[in-house]
Amino acid sequence: MNLIQNRAFLSKARVVFLDRDGVINEYPGDFQYVTEWKAFRFLPNVFEALRRLSENAFKLFIISNQAGVSKGIYSYEALKSITENMLEELSKQGVIISGVYYCIHQPEDNCNCRKPKTGLIDRAIERLKSENLDIDLQHSYFVGDTIRDVETGIAAGLNTILVFSGKEKLENRHNWQVQPDFTASNLSEAVDLILK
pLDDT computed for residue 9 by the predictor: 62
Question: What average pLDDT does the segment 110-136 reach?
Answer: 96
pLDDT computed for residue 1 by the predictor: 42
Nearest to 16 by CA among 45, 55, 66, 50: 50
The model's pLDDT over 35-64, given as tens digits with 9 standing for 90+, comes to 999 999 999 999 999 999 999 999 999 999
- CA dist 25 and 23 (Å) reads 6
The amino acid present at 155, given as its one-letter code, is A
Question: What average pLDDT does the segment 72-79 reach?
Answer: 97
pLDDT computed for residue 2 by the predictor: 45
- Residue 110: φ, ψ to 5°: 50, 45
pLDDT computed for residue 10 by the predictor: 76
Nearest to 158 by CA among 12, 8, 17: 17
The model's pLDDT over 128-171, given as tens digits with 9 standing for 90+, comes to 999 999 999 999 999 999 999 999 999 999 999 999 999 999 99
Whether the predicted pLDDT of 175 surpasses 70: yes
- Residue 145: φ, ψ to 5°: -110, 10
Handedness of CA 42, 43, 45, 51 (dihedral sign): negative
Residues designated catalytic: 19, 21
pLDDT computed for residue 8 by the predictor: 53
Question: What average pLDDT does the segment 89-95 reach?
Answer: 97
Contact between 13 and 136 under an 8 Å Cβ cutoff? The reply is yes
- Residue 142, classified by CB atoms within 10 Å of its CB into exposed (0-12), middle (13-18) or buried (19+), is buried
Domain spanning 3-195: which CATH class is it, in words?
A: alpha beta
Q: List helix spans (H) across the chain.
A: 3-7, 46-55, 76-92, 119-130, 147-155, 187-195
Average pLDDT for the chain: 95
Whether the predicted pLDDT of 102 surpasses 50: yes
The percentage of the chain sitting over the pLDDT mark of 70, rounded to a whole number, equals 95
* Beta-sheet pairing, 133-135 with 141-144: unpaired
> How large is the greatest C-alpha to C-alpha distance in the chain, in angstroms?
53
Strand, coil or helix: 140: coil
* Beta-sheet pairing, 182-184 with 99-103: unpaired
Q: List helix spans (H) across 29-98.
A: 46-55, 76-92
